[in-house]
Amino acid sequence: MDITSFEQFELNRQLLNAIAELGYTEPTPIQQKTIPLSLGNHDVLGIAQTGTGKTAAYLLPLLMKIKYAQGSAPRGLILAPTRELVLQINEAVSELGKYTDLRHLALYGGLGPKTQIETLRKGVDLLVATPGRFMDLYRLGEIVTKDIRTMVLDEADKMMDMGFMPQIRSILEVIPTKRQNLLFSATFGGRVERLSAEFLEAPIKVEVTPQASTAEMVNQVLYEVPNFRTKINMLDYLVSKDAFQRVIIFARTKGTAENIYKFLARKVVESDKIRVIHANKGQNTRINAMDAFKEGNVQILVATDVAARGIDVAQVSHVINFDLPLIYEDYVHRIGRTGRANHTGEAITFLTMAEEYHVQKIERIIRMTIPRKPLPPEVEVVETPFDEQQAMLREIDEQRRKDDPTFLGAFHEKKAKNLPSPKSRLKAKSKLPNTKKTAPSSPGTRSGIPTGRPGGAAGQKGSGQKRSGSRGGRR
């Protein structure tokens, strides 16, 4: 049976009214497929990314099941990897449960538990929690688990990436075994499969889009940018353009995110038009930054992958990858921030020669070659500082070694040959030629970046294939 309206799910009036108010006219594919299963009390394994409507896909049947406020102990538990995602899911509960009297609560760390405990004591029907905070409060005796009949794991792949497996196992031990389980994950690899085998009962697997298909909805482009300073110049050039109205800039590390923020806030945009979020930022700062960005008061949000996980902001005009994520699936999550709900978005990625390796792995995951464009002539190409160049060469060596453990390393070979003792090494260091000016384009290279993969195509192909879809990129 084709499902073209929410009425066909036979949801209650309260939910249908909320759905209508949110402007959802038709269930998305993941909703069409999983809602009837969940309503039928099956365990479901949903492979769906953020942006597909997966949150409502598990919330609607759950809200339908717990219906109205009852007793004081929670009857549903949703686990998610980050505070931001927990808050976002909790907000979706507020919206979808608007016409019910259900009491729900977000539990997450980074701030004192006092208010959370007070709310728990008043009685709740549904908890949305990070695994760590849930267990902390459980151990304090503040959570009664005996009535939990539905458990949802959202972004299960990310939870495992973030090392939450032990906490999830502890939670499974303290909640009733007779329950319905819904597991959602953006990717489906060996670990998610094992987790689902461990914790779901005869699950029905629903996959709405082939892995990484968001990529097709987004205009992607790669710029080969030789070094950090030139990346900053390129950012300066891009965000000054009118079209860059609501931009997320992704950085791999907190340090890089801070540097980008400082530079742009000082020189390029008014400081109240830009915010930065990463794990070291206080909870309130992060929430305020997200809200301001959502409301459109902030033009640029600089974020690390973990901080930005699952963030749902409509109409992000551009995603800029200042660098490439080392967990390759995060590339898909990053670019999924733009191009949602039928808006075509644009994802711009900068890459240095040391990132060429990662881009090839990402291209294998998204099953497409990302088009490359030359740097605009307005952007000043800065010479690569010696230290930065050495660091990149070292990184390339490491990448080659990862694919070929017998490889000793060109950088180290050279160093060993030229610099026999630590003493002469010091001396020699000062004599080493300074960095070569990176030519914007030279034969055999693209913007000075060798186009051939370090280690040779054949060597990489073998191991890369084995790794594709896995976490081969981590360390």
CB of 25 or CB of 424, closer to ligand AMP: 25
DSSP symbols for 8-63:
GGT--HHHHHHHHHHT--S--HHHHHHHHHHHTT--EEEE--TTSSHHHHHHHHHH
Residue 236 Cβ vs ligand AMP, minimum distance, rounded to whole Å: 31
Q: Tell me if 96 sits within 8 A of 60, measured CB to CB.
A: yes
CB of 333 to ligand AMP, least distance (A): 11
Positions that interact with ligand AMP (CB under 6 A):
24, 26-28, 31, 50-56, 312, 341
Within 13 A of 1's CA, how many CA atoms are on the CB side?
7
* 3-state percent breakdown (helix, strand, coil) of the chain, nearest 5: 45, 15, 40
Q: Between the CA of residue 285 and those of 272, 308, 377, 378, what are the distances in Å? A: 13, 14, 37, 35
Measured from the Cβ of residue 139, the count of other Cβ atoms closer than 10 Å reads 11
- Judged by beta carbon, residue 28 or residue 209, the one nearer ligand AMP is 28
Residue 55 CB, nearest distance to ligand AMP (Å)? 3
| CB of 28 vs ligand AMP, minimal distance in Å | 5
Distance CA 329, CA 210 (A): 13
Query: What element of type H or E holds 418?
Result: helix 410-418
| Cα gap 164→247, rounded to integer Å | 30
Closer Cβ to ligand AMP, 135 or 347, answer by number: 347
Q: How far is the CB of 24 from ligand AMP (least distance, A)?
A: 4
Kindly state the tokens that stand for 341.
């709900």
Q: Shortest Cβ distance from residue 245 to ligand AMP (Å)?
A: 18
Show Cβ contacts of residue 448 under 8 Å, excluding neighbours closer than 6 positions: 224, 226, 353, 438, 439, 440, 441, 442
Residue 38 or 230 with smaller CB distance to ligand AMP: 38
Closest CA to 87 of 125, 129, 117, 150: 129
CB of 182 to ligand AMP, least distance (A): 13
> Based on CB atoms, which residue is closest to ligand AMP, 149 or 309?
309
Select 310 or 473, whichever has its Cβ closest to ligand AMP: 310
Shortest Cβ 317–ligand AMP spacing (Å):
16
Shortest Å distance, C-beta 49 to ligand AMP: 7
* Residues forming beta bridges with residue 260, ordered by sequence position: none
CB of 58 to ligand AMP, least distance (A): 9
Between residues 99 and 237, which has the closer beta carbon with respect to ligand AMP? Answer: 99
Backbone angles phi, psi at 327, to 5 degrees: -95, 110
Nearer to ligand AMP, 10 or 380 (CB): 10
CB 473 within 8 A of CB 328: yes
Q: Which is nearer to ligand AMP, 250 or 261 (by Cβ)?
A: 250
Give me the phi and psi of 49, to 5 degrees please: -90, 165
Task: State the Cα angle at 7 between 5 and 11, rounded to 5°.
Answer: 130
Pick the closer one to ligand AMP by CB: 54 or 471: 54
> Could you tell me if 273 and 264 are in contact, meaning their C-beta atoms sit under 8 angstroms apart?
no
Give me the numbers of helices (H) and strands (E) for the chain, helices first please. Answer: 20, 16
142, 115 contact by CB (below 8 A): no
